[in-house]
């Protein structure tokens, strides 16, 4: 392990695509109960991270997130910026859409080691997708990607958590998708620093914009920022430059107000607490045989025990080990 890591780490830091891909696979397969190679790797890459701009792209399935991420990558490459894309897509099975989509998208940037694209699907019971996505973003950052785009379906809490690790969040809407502004999740609306109304080539884009403006007029943000609305046609690259200008304007706003460092510290704090929770849970569960867990469940179901006492029991059992 140590020797393979000593080869892998410098290759990751040099931004070699195959090394990055291998490292991500190790992150995806890591077991929180048994810290191993991936954890050692993450420990060693971490000091090299913190330089990239992390931008979240979220919105309903089919809104055009992947297409937009692709167009943005193209624009950024023209400006000689290196780009990483992490697409978190719990809606597509791991062997299905996400991976196939990656292959198609990678072809466009084929032979350009300045772009790295990777999809992740839902992970198993332990760990969760948000921490894994955060680790992958850190890895791409350390691998020298100047901009890391994190694409995620804006539906559940897990997805909101993922976007919460970004410096700037773009919420993507599109006309005629049943994702009317009124029905958008409040949580998603709150995290939008910039709105993209994609598929502006389709009828209804103006109506979406009007609804959005009406809603934004009622909201107030503590950081004094008014989220701009940019219309895009991602499939043709239209509006993509304007979108990036809006993203950069928000980041400048954060910098000017001394808010960027504070926002990042807040994100690190959340990751730290999440990691603590993940590791503690893994350890407590590792010392608890399935049969013992079943006994608790049986006792609770029969109302001989309550879940609160059971948890206290499990924790004190672990502490005594």
Residues near ligand GDP (CB under 6 A) are 59, 61-67, 198-199, 201-202, 233-235
Q: Which of 47, 48, 52 is nearest to 251 (CA)?
A: 52
278 binds, among Mg ion, ligand GDP, none (CB under 5 to 8 A by kind): none
Contacts of 223 (CB under 8 A, 6+ apart): 253, 254, 257, 259
Q: What is the nearest approach in angstroms of Mg ion to the Cβ of residue 97? A: 8
Cα→Cα distances 250→136, 151, 168, 181, Å: 24, 18, 7, 22
63 binds, among ligand GDP, Mg ion, none (CB under 5 to 8 A by kind): ligand GDP
- Window 25-64: contact mask with Mg ion (x via CB under 5 A): ----------------------------------------
Q: Which of 198, 259, 201, 196 is nearest to 225 (CA)?
A: 259
Q: What is the nearest approach in angstroms of Mg ion to the Cβ of residue 214? A: 28
Calpha distance 225→62 (Å, rounded): 28
Q: What is the nearest approach in angstroms of ligand GDP to the Cβ of residue 153? A: 7
Largest CA distance in the chain: 67
C-beta of 58 vs 82, nearer to ligand GDP: 58
Q: What is the nearest approach in angstroms of ligand GDP to the Cβ of residue 236? A: 7
Q: What is the nearest approach in angstroms of ligand GDP to the Cβ of residue 66? A: 3
Calpha distance 314→261 (Å, rounded): 39
C-beta of 59 vs 114, nearer to ligand GDP: 59
131 binds, among ligand GDP, Mg ion, none (CB under 5 to 8 A by kind): none
C-beta of 82 vs 198, nearer to ligand GDP: 198
- DSSP SS3 for 193: coil
198 touches Mg ion by CB under 5 A: no
57: its two tokens: 């792209």
Calpha distance 25→28 (Å, rounded): 5
66 touches Mg ion by CB under 5 A: yes
C-beta of 42 vs 172, nearer to Mg ion: 172
Q: What is the nearest approach in angstroms of Mg ion to the Cβ of residue 93? A: 14
| Alpha-helix residue ranges (DSSP H) falling in 196-304 | 205-217, 240-256, 260-286, 290-301
C-beta of 102 vs 201, nearer to ligand GDP: 201
176: its two tokens: 């005629």
User: How many residues lie near Mg ion (CB under 5 A)?
Assistant: 2
Residues at the interface with Mg ion (CB under 5 A):
65-66
């Amino acid at each position: 392990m140590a020797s393979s890591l000593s080869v892998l780490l410098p290759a990751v830091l040099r931004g070699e695509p195959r090394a990055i891909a291998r490292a991500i696979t190790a992150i995806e397969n890591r077991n929180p109960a048994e810290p191993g190679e991936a954890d050692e790797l993450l420990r060693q890459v971490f000091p090299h991270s913190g330089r990239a701009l992390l931008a979240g792209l979220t919105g309903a399935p089919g809104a055009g997130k992947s297409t937009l991420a692709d167009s943005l990558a193209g624009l950024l490459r023209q400006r000689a910026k290196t780009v990483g894309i992490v697409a978190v897509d719990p809606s597509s099975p791991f062997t299905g859409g996400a991976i196939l989509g990656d292959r198609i998208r990678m072809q466009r940037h084929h032979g350009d080691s300045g772009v790295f694209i990777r999809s992740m699907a839902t992970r198993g019971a332990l760990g969760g997708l948000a921490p894994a996505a955060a680790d992958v973003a850190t890895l791409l950052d350390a691998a020298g990607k100047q901009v890391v785009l994190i694409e995620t379906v804006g539906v559940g809490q897990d997805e909101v958590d993922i976007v919460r690790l970004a410096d700037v969040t773009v919420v993507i809407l599109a006309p005629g998708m049943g994702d009317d502004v009124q029905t958008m999740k409040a949580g998603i609306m709150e995290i939008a620093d910039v709105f993209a109304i994609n598929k502006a080539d389709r009828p209804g884009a103006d109506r979406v914009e009007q609804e959005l403006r009406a809603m934004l007029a009622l909201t107030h943000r503590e950081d004094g920022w008014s989220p701009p609305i940019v219309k895009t046609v991602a499939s043709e690259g239209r509006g993509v430059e304007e979108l990036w200008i809006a993203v950069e304007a928000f980041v400048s706003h954060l910098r000017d107000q001394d808010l960027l460092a504070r926002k990042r510290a807040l994100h690190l704090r959340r990751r730290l607490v999440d990691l603590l929770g993940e590791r503690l849970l893994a350890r407590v569960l590792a010392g608890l045989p399935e049969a013992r867990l079943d006994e608790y469940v049986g006792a609770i179901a029969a109302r001989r025990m309550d879940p609160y006492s059971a948890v206290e029991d499990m924790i004190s059992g672990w502490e005594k080990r």
